């Protein structure tokens, strides 16, 4: 079922069909030819091309297509679906969805288990959303800002924020009381072997979602998803480097250390935390 959207200008409900939407104040929007909605207003852009650029989107898509994060994506999709069954006709948003690798697997899991749901993937990067559109037509994809979503107050049952920025004020506005927020973020040992090769001193981010989310959200449960996988050639190592911020900060000496490797065993260590909107 298509996801009900609101006007990014006046936040009133949008009505129409899969090609065109309009609000009561006659702000109108045409679907892009690929089928997504561009609901990012010019005054919400801090740069000409906000969010992940075309190269970042391409690099992430290339690495994810190798399948090493499939087990992670499946676990996230299962957990989301378990939570979704607790709500009638749940409305679900994947905020900062990128090119939709996780969103797509959520949609497949939901479809197998729930007859009536609405699922939207939202990202500020049009490159990411264009790529997402190609993979799955059963998600409502939109280019929009997570800091002001084209979504009615207290209308969301579940939101996922996977490796993306937390924006607690806007999440509080759009989530229903009692709604749930699922957050994925790197654990201390995530890609530790790669970080050890790149940095002389490996640091922990110290990030905790609690400290960012504040009192509107109650921590419910944190699960660690941890396994090892092995990259088996230089092309795979380069695909990972192009995707992670560690790869963007690499020195020439570290690049040479990595170039000498035939394979690289890595730890995936991801925290999946569930919060409840108070
Ligand atoms: C590290 S990527 C994660 C993408 C995806 N969830 C995944 O795990 O593959 C972070 C994403 O957040 C998006 N982003 C950055 N600022 C944003 C904002 N203000 N609103 C919505 N998305 C944003 C970027 O364009 C990028 O696609
Ligand atoms: Zn409007």
Task: Give 145's strand partners.
Answer: 148
Collect all residues with Cβ–Cβ distance below 8 Å to 9 and sequence separation of at least 6: 23, 25, 27, 41
1: in domain: no
CA 245 to ligand 1 center in whole angstroms: 13
Q: What is the pLDDT along the chain (278 residues), one digit of tens a residue?
A: 899 999 999 999 999 999 999 999 999 999 999 999 999 998 888 888 899 999 999 999 999 999 999 999 999 999 999 999 999 999 999 999 999 999 999 999 999 999 999 999 999 999 999 999 998 999 999 999 999 999 999 999 999 999 999 999 999 999 999 999 999 999 999 999 999 999 989 988 889 999 999 999 999 999 999 999 999 999 999 999 999 988 888 999 999 999 999 999 999 999 999 999 99
* Residue 90 half-sphere exposure toward CB, CA atoms < 13 A: 24
- Which pLDDT does position 21 carry in this prediction? 97
pLDDT of residue 246: 87
Residue 61 lies in a domain: yes
- Taking the CA of residue 167 as reference, the ligand 1 atom at the shortest distance is 19
Q: Give the closest residue (by CA) to ligand 1 atom 16.
A: 51
- Structurally, how many domains does the chain consist of? 1
Q: Nearest-5° angle of CA 38, CA 274, CA 72?
A: 75
> What would the two tokens of residue 78 be?
């299962």
Q: Is residue 151 part of a domain?
A: yes
Residue 21 lies inside a defined structural domain of this protein? yes
Angle, CA of 273, 275 and 278, to the nearest 5°: 170
**What pLDDT sits at residue 64?**
96
For residue 69, which ligand has an atom nearest its CA? 1
Q: Is residue 114 part of a domain?
A: yes
Q: How far is the CA of 89 from the centre of ligand 2 (A)?
A: 26
CATH value at residue 192: 3.40.50.150
Give the Å distance between the CA of 10 and the centre of ligand 2.
4
Q: How far apart are CA 14 and CA 224, in angstroms?
A: 39
How confident is the model at residue 44, as a pLDDT?
A: 87
173 three-class SS: helix
65 Cα–ligand 2 center, Å? 39
- Is residue 10 in a domain? no
Task: Return the pLDDT at 135.
Answer: 87
Is residue 19, in this structure, part of any structural domain at all?
A: yes
153 falls within a domain: yes
Name the residue range of residue 253's domain.
Answer: 15-277
Which residues are close to ligand 2, an ion, with C-beta < 5 A? 7, 9-10, 23, 25, 27
Nearest CA to ligand 1 atom 1: 163
Distance of CA 61 to the CA centre of its chain: 13
The predicted pLDDT at position 67 comes to 98
């Amino acid at each position: 079922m298509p996801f009900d959207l609101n006007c990014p200008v006046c936040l009133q409900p949008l009505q129409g069909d899969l090609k065109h939407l309009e609000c009561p104040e006659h702000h109108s929007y045409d679907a892009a030819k690929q089928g997504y909605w561009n609901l990012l207003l010019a005054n919400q852009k801090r740069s000409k091309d906000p969010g992940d650029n075309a190269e970042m989107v391409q690099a992430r898509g290339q690495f994810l297509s190798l399948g090493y994060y499939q087990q992670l994506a499946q676990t996230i999709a299962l957990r989301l679906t378990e939570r979704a069954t607790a709500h009638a006709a749940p409305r679900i948003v994947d905020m900062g969805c990128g090119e939709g690798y996780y969103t797509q697997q959520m949609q497949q899991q939901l479809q197998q288990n729930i007859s009536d749901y609405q699922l939207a993937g939202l990202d500020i990067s049009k490159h990411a959303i264009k790529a997402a559109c190609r993979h799955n037509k059963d998600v409502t994809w939109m280019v929009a800002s997570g800091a002001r979503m084209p979504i009615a107050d207290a209308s969301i049952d579940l939101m996922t924020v996977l490796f993306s920025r937390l924006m607690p004020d806007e999440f509080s506005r759009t989530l229903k009381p009692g709604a749930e927020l699922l957050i994925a973020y790197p654990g201390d040992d995530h890609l530790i072997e790669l970080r050890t090769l790149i940095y002389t001193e490996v640091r922990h981010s110290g990030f905790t979602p609690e400290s960012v989310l504040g009192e509107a959200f109650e921590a419910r449960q944190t699960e660690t998803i941890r396994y090892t996988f092995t990259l088996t050639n230089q092309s795979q190592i380069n695909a990972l480097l192009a995707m992670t911020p560690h790869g963007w900060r690499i020195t020439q000496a570290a690049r040479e250390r990595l170039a000498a490797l035939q394979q690289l065993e890595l730890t995936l260590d991801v925290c999946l935390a569930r919060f409840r909107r108070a």
